[in-house]
Amino acid sequence: MKDKISKILLIAFLLFGFGVLAFMPNTPEQNVEVSASLLTKEDPNDYDYSYELGIDTKNNTLCYGECDRTIVIKTEKPGIEYLSAQDYYLFYKDNNKIKMFDYKNNTTYIINIVPSYERYYFGIDKYNGKFFGVVGVVNDKATYYNIKLNKKLYENKYSQINLLSDDYIEGIVFEKDENKNNIQKRVELLSTEKEKVLLSYKNTSKDAYLFFEHKIVKNNDYYILHSGYAEESFYKAIFNRKLETLYSNDYKNQTENGKLLIDGDIADNGNIYIYDGDNLTYTEYNYRGQMINKLKCNYNVIMLIKEYLVVNIENNIVLMDINGNTINLTTIDDSKKIHTLLSGWYTEDNKEGVYVVIEESKADINDVYNTCKKINNCDDLKKEDLLEYAVGYKYYYIPSTKETGRLGTYIGGYANPELNLNP
């Protein structure tokens, strides 16, 4: 059974570029009912076939090898076609029917949609953990099914539909260029209750790629529009659940000559932090867009990572919070280079926090190699191979423990990911 099951990775792709136009569309509302219930409960107890699957209950995903829970799927026909597994739900095909097994409640459902789509995508709301919708794709045309409201919406109107939440989904339109490559023309935030476009952004650059991200922090819903994958320019906007604009860079370049011009980010406390390089201000807002705190910052700001500014103060790279408190990371000179694309908030060696990547030609190659072997599991890499790469350090600050330090790292080229119509 294990060899019939494979995990599906959902990939968010970014491509180099800039150029978007935003507008609030005026579109007629539509309401499409389907003739039968989209979700019906099934009693599989009398079925003759059964399969055991391992579950990792900590991460609520399928498990291989030693697992802490086993579930049993009973089927009408021998063999099942695995589709997806998310949270407490397993989606699969059995006897040419789309089915869902809720292994938290040990319940099986039939999803009554056309079983002949080329691809299926299933939506689980991050806020309430409920299954809310399905997207079926055939011939690069997508259709959305609202499970709760029993509706079929946006049939064949978008090349791709991404399932963000119970409230909103994302529709993307692609067109072919002269070389038959897919070029994104428009991204729209859509209602899940009726055919209504809520936000629309026209892509005016063939190299840009726009997408919405749904993020929940401190029980607050945020919808973030991203675009581009370049240090010098990109579009970014942050909205709350009511789609009120909390931050927008208004098409300005984010950085110029290594200095941050404008940026906004969401911290773990649920608040928005915005740096305005024109006015040299750093401001904190709550979820409703109300200002909480404001700091005048006259230093050379390099980037913003959650609630921390990365600042150059007299050739010292420090983190600065909204109260002006600083945390020293390292010194810098003309022989060193900060890589903002590789810097950010992530976890290394089980330590979650701020990481600032600095290329340093004098970095100890042994530090780089030992870190690679210990943390990144690069067993195939030999020490002499590192001579082909730029090397340096990841300087970090871990807020939960107040720890600072550095990890050796090697720096490769920035790859351009291949565009996938249905990540």
Domain that holds residue 416: 334-423
Which residue, 308, 332, 356, sits at the end of a domain? 332
3-state secondary structure of 16: coil
| 276/358 same-domain check | no
pLDDT value of position 253: 66
Those residues with Cβ within 8 angstroms of residue 306's Cβ, 6 or more apart along the chain or in another chain: 265, 266, 267, 268, 273, 345, 354
Mind listing the pLDDT tens digit for each residue in 79-89? Answer: 888 898 888 89
Q: Residue 273 and residue 295: Cα distance in Å, rounded?
A: 11
Domain holding 301: CATH number? 2.40.10
| 326/297 same-domain check | yes
| 310/389 same-domain check | no
| 305/361 same-domain check | no
pLDDT value of position 234: 62
In a domain, 27, yes or no: no
| 318/372 same-domain check | no
| 327/348 same-domain check | no
| 344/407 same-domain check | yes
In a domain, 364, yes or no: yes
Those residues with Cβ within 8 angstroms of residue 248's Cβ, 6 or more apart along the chain or in another chain: 236, 237, 238
According to DSSP, residue 400 is labeled T
Q: Residue 277 and residue 25: Cα distance in Å, rounded?
A: 31
Q: Are 125 and 87 in contact (CB under 8 A)?
A: no
Number of domains in the chain: 2
Those residues with Cβ within 8 angstroms of residue 213's Cβ, 6 or more apart along the chain or in another chain: 12, 223, 224, 225, 226
Where does residue 349 rank: exposed (0-12), middle (13-18), buried (19+ CB within 10 A)?
Answer: exposed
Which residue, 332, 347, 365, sits at the end of a domain? 332
| 281/306 same-domain check | yes
pLDDT value of position 8: 27
Which residue, 332, 359, 380, sits at the end of a domain? 332
| 307/392 same-domain check | no
Those residues with Cβ within 8 angstroms of residue 274's Cβ, 6 or more apart along the chain or in another chain: 247, 262, 263, 264, 282, 283, 285
In a domain, 46, yes or no: no
CB atoms within 10 A of CB 114: 11
Six-digit token pair at 264? 């906004």
Low-confidence ranges of the chain (pLDDT < 70): 1-36, 206-207, 228-234, 250-253, 377, 379, 412-423
According to DSSP, residue 375 is labeled H
Residue type for position 234: F
